[in-house]
Structure 1
């Protein structure tokens, strides 16, 4: 009988310890998330290489000399879906003026992304961040998120949330070389 009580006490102690550790970690993560490597305006944009849906590699630093509209998005994100047609239309207008859109899909199966791209007839590069490494490197927590990178590679603006067509135009104008 004493053996059962001792085992129960040990199990309860282990469970309590694990739960306490989980609560401490959650509190730590929430209180420090803003200070963890979040890329902000004025910083140089961290370089990365991602593959697009056609298997071509895109390295951010290879766009030096162009303004880059770097957008993080997901197919499930309704605000992302609403802003995509605006981005597509303005890309057609600004791509010959030295502005590039790199739309980084975060962690979704290629099938879903392809279906979304076909549905919206998107013509700008769609990059795959399968493990959300780039999203985490940039400190992006909410989608959609857009960073404007000037022709020298410096982040000049970070915008979270849905963008209107007018706002996207204004942003593209600001990064034109």
Structure 2
């Protein structure tokens, strides 16, 4: 990883921190802890879906976890900060009012490691956290991203018609492989840039491929998404957390990997990618 990459990563985490500050009503200026506040470090998770599995055996962040979090958000079930202790995890449920103020933005950070400063109250054996300051921590997946660079990773998924497609079939082209889902808000935001890259660079041997976490059972939603965002590149269905991980990404979406003409991974971006960033790599 180059110094420029590290600089970009730092800017990315700063941007996430500013967004999270907006969620909790903070400002860009550093805040002094208030009396009685605590600082917690853990993973932002769905306070209900967390209990779907033994988290000692199955880490949170699978595709099923993320989809469950989206469903729970629609039912006004707030997320929580899962803090790991010596023997188990302890959940601090986010204040319901803070969550309802901007549910969609909270979902953007499900699965990410965060540092939360706020006040804890206990009600009926549950711990609730009213947040004063919240920031995203550097991902432990940084080493995973670095390890993926230069490796050859295959991906085989079915297209919208149920026909298997393979990434290796595009050998000889530069592939912009974007992992997304219809329920992912930031995924929608980056589609115009991906479509623009497809238009501008296709003649130069660049191919954008959209690998959706949606399955064939939600094909109608995918088709609506394609129409609304004017996607002009191939869309494959059924991308899993394990698929994303092989490309140094995940578990949160979106994520993009640029694959060279020789099939080797050139770049991974574990968040929204812009046309400007892509053009620097093509």
Q: Same fold (TM over 0.5)?
A: yes
**Structure 2: gaps spanning 5 or more residues:** 1-50, 60-83, 89-110, 112-139
Structure 1 residues 106-147: Cα deviation after superposition (integer angstroms, max 9, x where no partner): 134111111100111211001101655523544521211001
SS of match in other structure, 1:134: helix
Structure 1 residues 51-88: Cα deviation after superposition (integer angstroms, max 9, x where no partner): 22244432111111100101101112121111101110
Ranked by relative contact order (alpha carbons within 8 Å, sequence separation 6 or more), the top structure is 1
Query: 1:114 & 1:48 partners in 2: Cα distance?
Result: 22
Q: Is the 8 A contact 1:129 1:135 kept in 2?
A: no
Structure with more of its chain in strand, by fraction: 2
1:24 aligns with 2:59: no
Query: 2:158 & 2:272 partners in 1: Cα distance?
Result: 25
Structure with more of its chain in helix, by fraction: 1
Q: Is the 8 A contact 1:107 1:131 kept in 2?
A: no
Counterparts in 2 of 1:157-172, with a 5 A limit? 157-171=267-281
1:42 aligns with 2:150: yes
What is the aligned partner in structure 1 of residue 46 from structure 2? Answer: none
Deviant stretches of 4+, over 4 Å: 33-39, 130-133
Query: 1:168 & 1:58 partners in 2: Cα distance?
Result: 24
Query: 2:260 & 2:142 partners in 1: Cα distance?
Result: 24
Cα distance, 1:77–1:97 mapped onto 2, change above 3 Å: same
Q: Is the 8 A contact 1:106 1:135 kept in 2?
A: no
Structure 1 residues 150-172: Cα deviation after superposition (integer angstroms, max 9, x where no partner): 0001001111111222112223x
Alignment TM-score, normalising by the size of structure 2: 0.47
Q: How many residues align?
A: 149
Q: Is the 8 A contact 1:107 1:132 kept in 2?
A: no
Query: 1:47 & 1:164 partners in 2: Cα distance?
Result: 24
**Structure 1: gaps spanning 5 or more residues:** 1-18
Higher-Rg structure is: 1
Give the deviation of 1:100 after TM superposition.
0.7
What is the aligned partner in structure 2 of residue 71 from structure 1? Answer: 178
Cα distance, 1:153–1:119 mapped onto 2, change above 3 Å: same
1:62 aligns with 2:172: no
What is the aligned partner in structure 2 of residue 145 from structure 1? Answer: 255
1:97 aligns with 2:129: no
Give the deviation of 1:36 after TM superposition.
10
RMSD: 2.9
What is the aligned partner in structure 2 of residue 120 from structure 1? Answer: 229
Query: 1:87 & 1:101 partners in 2: Cα distance?
Result: 7
Alignment TM-score, normalising by the size of structure 1: 0.71
SS of match in other structure, 1:93: helix
Query: 2:211 & 2:237 partners in 1: Cα distance?
Result: 6
